[in-house]
Structure 1
Amino acid sequence: MKRILFTTTAIVAFAGAAAADVSWSGSAELGHNDDINGGLYADGDLDVTMSQELDNGVTAGVTFGFDLEDASADTLDTDGNFHADDNFTLFLESDMASLYYGDTPFAAETYWNGVTNMEEDSFSEADGEVVLRGAMSYGGFDFGISNVVHNDKFALGGTGSGEVDQLSLGAAGEINGVSVTFGYQEEAENDFDGNGDFNGAEVYGLSVGTTVGGADVLFAYASDDGEESIGLQGSYAVAPGVTLTAFYVSESRPVDPTDTDIDEDGEDNYGLAASYANGPISVDAFYHDGGDEDAGVNVSYDVGNGLGLLAGWSDDDGQYVAAEYDLGGGAAFVASYAEDEDNNQNDEIGPQEYLHGTTVALTLSF
């Protein structure tokens, strides 16, 4: 079904387009890891975008990619032909309005901006679902509307007939120096397997932000199936290169006394963060408490001549040390040691998502 739609739509979109713009991008990695892969490994991705500007100012296009990792098992059929990844997207774009179909985010997640660690702004996040999304701009605001499109591969109980589910709305803009974001999603008829970030409940939220006395202030309200989060967050540059951020979120969900997790859903969330950047050094540190208990710090130092040193730790994520050397032209050599706090070897650790264990790798991007 998907490949038929892809082929026929591409023919319609590019009929008569003798010189469509085609761009290629991708990445590859060759490395050695002593824990996850048990030795040498290699993987790569290749992405293609084809687009054509039509006579009416609309640009039509398609993007798709190939995952080259373990091709014999994942991307080749019995005839030895490559299959495209699930990241294909068809699009029509203009200055005022656009339409997307395929691997594209839901409308609410696209525009929503909430306070850190709000529990009830749990809008569905697209990860493998097929999405139909429209977007437009008017009067200084951006608007979006989307639906999940059911298919047999991703939908529990889906028929594969292309029916739509979970209407999602989003908007973001600014009025007289006050930024506003809004998100809404209706209750879904079916959940989707393979995506822990899909929430079938009705969720809506509103946030407003502005600058007061040099501080950036954000207020947000969200509701998930009747449970509410009310959050306030502020950031202030206390000195050149130094920014402090604090947040507090009041949660209405009752604490589950049978929950043995360290993190207790329903407790109020609060925390502090500090960032420092001066020349070659940058430091980010944070402390979270309440329903989400975590603390950590990430440090990077630009030695010069393409060499960077990195280290970090957090209660939830683990710790890492690494060196990255820029070889130029999109190539880099990376050496890292990372250890997950829960010894979960499948986790990727730190903002750079290092593999558990000791890794040396050559990475390429083009």
Structure 2
Amino acid sequence: MKKVLFATTALVASAGFAAADITFSGNAEMGIVGGGKDAPGVSTYKGNGNDSTTEFNNDFTLTVVGSGQTDSGLSFGISVDFSTDAEPDANGNVSLDNEAVFISGDFGTLTLGEIDGAVDKQLTEVNNAIGQYSIGDDETVHAGFQGSYGDGAYDNQILRYDYAFGDFGFSASMELNDDKATTTTMDTVPGVPGGVKFDEVYNENNADNGYAFAISYKTEMGGANLGFGLGYQYLEAGIGGWAPGNIKTYGVAWDQGTEVDIIAATVSADFNNGFTAGFEYSNYDPDVPTGSPYDNDIDHYALGLGYSVNALSLGASYGKFDTKGADADGWALTAAYDLGGGASVVAGYSDSDINGAGVDNNDYETYSLGVVMNF
């Protein structure tokens, strides 16, 4: 459980505002991360080529949340994370992340920023369903992890509307196209032997805007708390192409201009006896010419199971991408021991396998061990 890092500060009320609050919370990690037999292009801490490597890792995140309310009862706020660089070989490098602002009332909540889209908001991913995490993100870096559906296909600046009614939740979101790349051209300078000049040209993507809709429902059945989610998302691949989850790392991507329809569903369960479980399925249907290297759908499946007893928590998860171009799957094991006061010892391990993606090293492993501290 997170504690407030500093005392809540009440700002002086001004005209049109009833009150405004700013709160601070945070978390930190320290330990070791590593891996071996790695596929290229993953992350530096997971090794180089076939060489196993282990490195120290420490990072922290400070979350600042500001909120207020108008005289008419309209709520508003802002949230932002101050985070260190995620890579262990880079000290310092504090950056802003997950910036968002919101307005809320009887009509629902409107949020703009680096946030989840509608599908990712209403659907529960496996790692969240079983509540398992590691300092090396072993449960999310393996080749079978899906991630955030179609979010971030453009600039990751998302506008989302949320509304809840009883046990139902609804979200709609949009991500606008502003994707562009820079091309450098070289021309000869007249009258100057061997002279050249460089010009930068911005190539506009002109892709359609992305949008998403999703619903969720929570209920109790047979003593278990169940959650269901169903969503649809549309996007058009921008400059550099696009593919879901971690599979793009291994050379699978649809070309710029490819329109992709996404349908996704999740089920989560808390059996109230220490066991939790999650299942997710998503289908990615590209509009590409027949005969393209990736002219078929990509199906993604993921399954997870968690168990907690006293201070000990264990988790196992598996995910797979199934497509004609390449199959990629991976699994992860996690363990945590609660020390009390917001601190836990955590460990993680993952193993991945990639077939047919044109990667020399078609499997890799990661591991991590350390302490997580929540403030």
Query: Per-residue deviation at 1:340?
Result: 3.5
* Aligned residue among 234, 254, 262 for 1:186: 234
Aligned pair in 2 of structure 1 residues 165, 186: CA closer, same or farther (>3 Å)?
A: same
Please give the alpha-carbon distance, in whole angstroms, between the structure 1 residues aligned to 2:82 and 2:365. Answer: 22
Query: Per-residue deviation at 1:66?
Result: 1.2
By relative contact order (CA 8 Å, sep 6+), the higher-ranking structure is 2
* Aligned residue among 189, 214, 217 for 1:170: 214
Return 5+ residue gaps in structure 1 as ranges. 1-13, 77-81, 116-121, 208-219, 221-232, 293-314
Please give the alpha-carbon distance, in whole angstroms, between the structure 1 residues aligned to 2:283 and 2:116. Answer: 28
Please give the alpha-carbon distance, in whole angstroms, between the structure 1 residues aligned to 2:91 and 2:64. Answer: 19
SS at the partner of 1:110? helix
Please give the alpha-carbon distance, in whole angstroms, between the structure 1 residues aligned to 2:374 and 2:244. Answer: 29
* Aligned residue among 170, 177, 181 for 1:143: 170
Is the CA contact (8 Å cut-off) linking 2:16 and 2:71 kept in structure 1?
A: no
Query: Per-residue deviation at 1:183?
Result: 2.9
Alignment identity in percent? 23
2:121 aligns to what?
A: 110
Query: Per-residue deviation at 1:277?
Result: 7.0
Query: Per-residue deviation at 1:144?
Result: 2.4
CA displacement 1:175-194 (0-9 Å, x = unmatched): 9x999855333343736779
SS at the partner of 1:88? strand
Is the CA contact (8 Å cut-off) linking 2:313 and 2:337 kept in structure 1?
A: no
Q: Which amino acid aligns with 1:129?
A: N
1:7 aligns to what?
A: none
2:188 aligns to what?
A: none
Please give the alpha-carbon distance, in whole angstroms, between the structure 2 residues aligned to 1:113 and 1:75. Answer: 32
Query: Per-residue deviation at 1:196?
Result: 4.1
Q: Which amino acid aligns with 2:342?
A: G
Query: Per-residue deviation at 1:92?
Result: 0.6
Please give the alpha-carbon distance, in whole angstroms, between the structure 2 residues aligned to 1:153 and 1:250. Answer: 27
Root mean square deviation, CA, Å: 6.1
Is the CA contact (8 Å cut-off) linking 1:246 and 1:272 kept in structure 2?
A: yes
CA displacement 1:235-265 (0-9 Å, x = unmatched): 998xx87899999999999xx9x99xxxx97
Residue 61 of structure 2 is aligned to residue 45 of structure 1: yes
Q: Which amino acid aligns with 1:64?
A: V
Please give the alpha-carbon distance, in whole angstroms, between the structure 2 residues aligned to 1:323 and 1:124. Answer: 31
Is the CA contact (8 Å cut-off) linking 1:30 and 1:363 kept in structure 2?
A: yes
Query: Per-residue deviation at 1:59?
Result: 1.0
Q: Which amino acid aligns with 1:317?
A: W
* Aligned residue among 144, 147, 161 for 1:134: 161
Aligned pair in 2 of structure 1 residues 93, 75: CA closer, same or farther (>3 Å)?
A: farther
* Aligned residue among 327, 337, 344 for 1:332: 344
SS at the partner of 2:121? helix
Q: Which amino acid aligns with 1:165?
A: N
* Aligned residue among 119, 124, 148 for 2:150: 124
Q: Which amino acid aligns with 2:103?
A: L
Please give the alpha-carbon distance, in whole angstroms, between the structure 1 residues aligned to 2:173 and 2:77. Answer: 19
CA displacement 1:90-124 (0-9 Å, x = unmatched): 11112431111112221233335799xxxxxx951
2:11 aligns to what?
A: none
Residue 82 of structure 2 is aligned to residue 66 of structure 1: yes
Please give the alpha-carbon distance, in whole angstroms, between the structure 2 residues aligned to 1:250 and 1:70. Answer: 30
1:100 aligns to what?
A: 111
Residue 344 of structure 2 is aligned to residue 364 of structure 1: no
Is the CA contact (8 Å cut-off) linking 2:264 and 2:280 kept in structure 1?
A: no
Is the CA contact (8 Å cut-off) linking 1:267 and 1:290 kept in structure 2?
A: yes
Query: Per-residue deviation at 1:68?
Result: 2.3
Is the CA contact (8 Å cut-off) linking 2:176 and 2:210 kept in structure 1?
A: no
Is the CA contact (8 Å cut-off) linking 1:137 and 1:143 kept in structure 2?
A: yes
Please give the alpha-carbon distance, in whole angstroms, between the structure 1 residues aligned to 2:55 and 2:319. Answer: 37
Please give the alpha-carbon distance, in whole angstroms, between the structure 1 residues aligned to 2:300 and 2:34. Answer: 41
Please give the alpha-carbon distance, in whole angstroms, between the structure 1 residues aligned to 2:263 and 2:315. Answer: 29
Query: Per-residue deviation at 1:130?
Result: 0.7
Residue 30 of structure 2 is aligned to residue 30 of structure 1: yes
Larger CA deviation: 243-252 vs 91-100: 243-252
Please give the alpha-carbon distance, in whole angstroms, between the structure 2 residues aligned to 1:250 and 1:22. Answer: 41
Please give the alpha-carbon distance, in whole angstroms, between the structure 2 residues aligned to 1:329 and 1:340. Answer: 32
Please give the alpha-carbon distance, in whole angstroms, between the structure 2 residues aligned to 1:341 and 1:34. Answer: 14
Is the CA contact (8 Å cut-off) linking 1:273 and 1:284 kept in structure 2?
A: yes
Aligned pair in 2 of structure 1 residues 67, 55: CA closer, same or farther (>3 Å)?
A: same
Please give the alpha-carbon distance, in whole angstroms, between the structure 2 residues aligned to 1:149 and 1:155. Answer: 19
Aligned pair in 2 of structure 1 residues 103, 266: CA closer, same or farther (>3 Å)?
A: closer
Q: Which amino acid aligns with 1:25?
A: S
Query: Per-residue deviation at 1:27?
Result: 1.3
Is the CA contact (8 Å cut-off) linking 2:75 and 2:104 kept in structure 1?
A: yes
